[in-house]
């Protein structure tokens, strides 16, 4: 007889509420369809299946017996003891190795992998694992954010815990993880800077943020000159006294001919001559937004101009 889940015979404890699969090791013996099986799981329940499953509802050591009445052989009986603990096959937790804390800043994009969070932004915390499962049994998570605020206690491994730091600094985050056998503490530092608005300043359209462009063939630029159809024009989000490195930014280009781009610097080709209004929407991670625009004059290409003169 053997168990086919995380526990095996008497080597490891099985878990309360865990489904255990029982089977017969029939080495040197051939079962027949006429054989009859009587399983006694030691907790008052039985089964007549050849390979039954069973769930123990309380911890303890149970004597499991199996009687096989062979249709073509004498009856045989086997017995094994099954240890049932309070957890379901949980391995050893090692803090900051297979169990640890993860976090992400909603506005700044900071995370446990790097970057600085911002004062007053919501930072989402959660427990994480590598080669360990919190589903193996009941766990309690105690969060201490290191800034003097009350600890937060949860019992869900999938629940995000939001927290806001009211001042800048480096805060010692600790996550205490408790199951029926162990208590470990995972630690990390959270670096918090001033708010994004304070760090970045204000985006002023046409002032510290603007749209620039340059035609590869005609030499046209935002300062003057007409571009040509079918030439590649390099469009750029420009700054003067402002830096996009202060926080995550997104860019939405609309070239006025039905084409768009999400790149900070985008190349575009206009297929037809005309005057186009190019628009760029810039959105910062704290939802500060500006919309910039430039008019671009597109003339017929050189080949068309020669054909018109003739």
Average pLDDT over residues 94-111: 93
Which residues contact residue 204 at a Cβ distance below 8 angstroms, ignoring those fewer than 6 apart? 242, 290
- Sorting pLDDT into bands at 50, 70 and 90, what band is 6? low
The whole-number pLDDT of residue 194 equals: 81
Pairing relation of β-strands 227-228 and 140-144? Answer: unpaired
Average pLDDT over residues 68-74: 66
User: Above 60 in pLDDT, residue 305?
Assistant: no
- Sorting pLDDT into bands at 50, 70 and 90, what band is 27? low
Contact status, residue 225 vs residue 259, Cβ threshold 8 Å:
no
User: Above 80 in pLDDT, residue 90?
Assistant: no
- What percent of the chain clears pLDDT 70, i.e. is strictly above it? 87
Residue spans per domain, the chain: 2-85, 99-194, 200-309
User: Above 50 in pLDDT, residue 294?
Assistant: yes
Complete edge-to-edge strand list for the sheet that includes strand 19-23: 2-3, 19-23, 53-55
- Count the residues in the chain: 310
**Residue of 175, 73, 187 whose CA lies nearest to 134:** 175
User: Above 90 in pLDDT, residue 57?
Assistant: no
Tokens of 67: 């009687």
- Sorting pLDDT into bands at 50, 70 and 90, what band is 74? low
The whole-number pLDDT of residue 262 equals: 97
Query: Is the pTM of the predicted complex or chain greater than 0.85?
Result: no
Pairing relation of β-strands 289-299 and 274-284? Answer: antiparallel
> How far apart, in whole angstroms, are the C-alpha atoms of residue 26 and residue 252?
68
User: Above 50 in pLDDT, residue 301?
Assistant: yes
- What percent of the chain clears pLDDT 90, i.e. is strictly above it? 61
- Sorting pLDDT into bands at 50, 70 and 90, what band is 87? very low
Q: Tell me which architecture the domain covering 200-309 has in CATH.
A: Sandwich (2.60)
The whole-number pLDDT of residue 109 equals: 85
User: Above 90 in pLDDT, residue 89?
Assistant: no
User: Above 60 in pLDDT, residue 116?
Assistant: yes
Complete edge-to-edge strand list for the sheet that includes strand 122-129: 99-105, 122-129, 161-164
CB neighbours of residue 84 within 10 Å: 23
> How far apart, in whole angstroms, are the C-alpha atoms of residue 261 and residue 159?
36
Tell me, which fold does domain 2-85 have in CATH?
A: Immunoglobulin-like (2.60.40)
**Would 2-85 and 99-194 be classified into the same CATH topology?**
yes
The whole-number pLDDT of residue 3 equals: 39
- Sorting pLDDT into bands at 50, 70 and 90, what band is 71? low
Q: What is the mean pLDDT of the chain?
A: 87
Average pLDDT over residues 2-6: 45
CATH of 99-194, one of 3.40.50.620, 2.60.40.10, 2.40.128.630, 2.60.120.10: 2.60.40.10
Model pLDDT for residues 125-184, shown as the tens digit of each residue: 999 999 898 988 899 999 999 999 999 999 999 999 999 999 999 999 999 999 988 999
Identify which has the larger pLDDT, 227 or 61: 227
Rg (CA), the chain: 34
User: Above 60 in pLDDT, residue 260?
Assistant: yes
């Amino acid at each position: 007889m053997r168990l086919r889940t995380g526990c095996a015979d008497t080597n490891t404890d099985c878990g309360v509420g865990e489904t255990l699969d029982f089977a017969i090791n029939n080495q040197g013996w051939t079962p027949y369809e006429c054989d009859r099986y009587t399983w006694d799981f030691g907790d008052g329940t039985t089964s007549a299946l050849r390979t039954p499953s069973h769930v123990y509802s309380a911890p303890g050591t149970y004597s499991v017996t199996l009687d096989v009445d062979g249709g073509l052989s004498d009856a045989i009986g086997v017995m094994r003891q099954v240890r049932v603990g309070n957890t379901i096959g949980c391995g050893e937790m090692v803090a900051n190795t297979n169990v640890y804390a993860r976090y992400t800043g909603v506005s700044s994009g900071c995370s446990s992998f790097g970057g600085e969070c911002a004062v007053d932004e919501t930072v989402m915390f959660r427990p994480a694992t590598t080669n360990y499962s919190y589903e193996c049994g009941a766990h309690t998570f105690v969060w201490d954010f290191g800034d003097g605020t009350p600890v937060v206690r949860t019992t869900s491994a999938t629940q995000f815990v939001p927290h806001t730091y009211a001042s800048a600094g480096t805060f010692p985050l600790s996550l205490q993880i408790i199951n029926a056998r162990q208590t470990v503490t995972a630690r990390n530092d959270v670096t918090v800077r001033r708010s994004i608005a304070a760090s970045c300043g204000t985006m002023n359209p046409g002032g510290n943020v603007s749209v620039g462009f340059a035609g590869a063939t005609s030499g046209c630029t935002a300062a003057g000159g007409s571009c040509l159809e079918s030439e590649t024009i390099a469009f750029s989000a420009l700054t003067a006294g402002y830096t996009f490195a202060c926080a995550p930014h997104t860019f939405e280009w609309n070239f006025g001919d039905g084409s768009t781009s999400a790149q900070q610097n985008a190349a575009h080709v206009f297929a037809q001559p005309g005057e186009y209004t190019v628009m760029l929407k810039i959105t910062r991670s704290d939802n500060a937004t500006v919309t910039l625009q430039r008019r671009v004059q597109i003339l017929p290409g050189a080949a068309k101009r020669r054909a018109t003169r003739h």
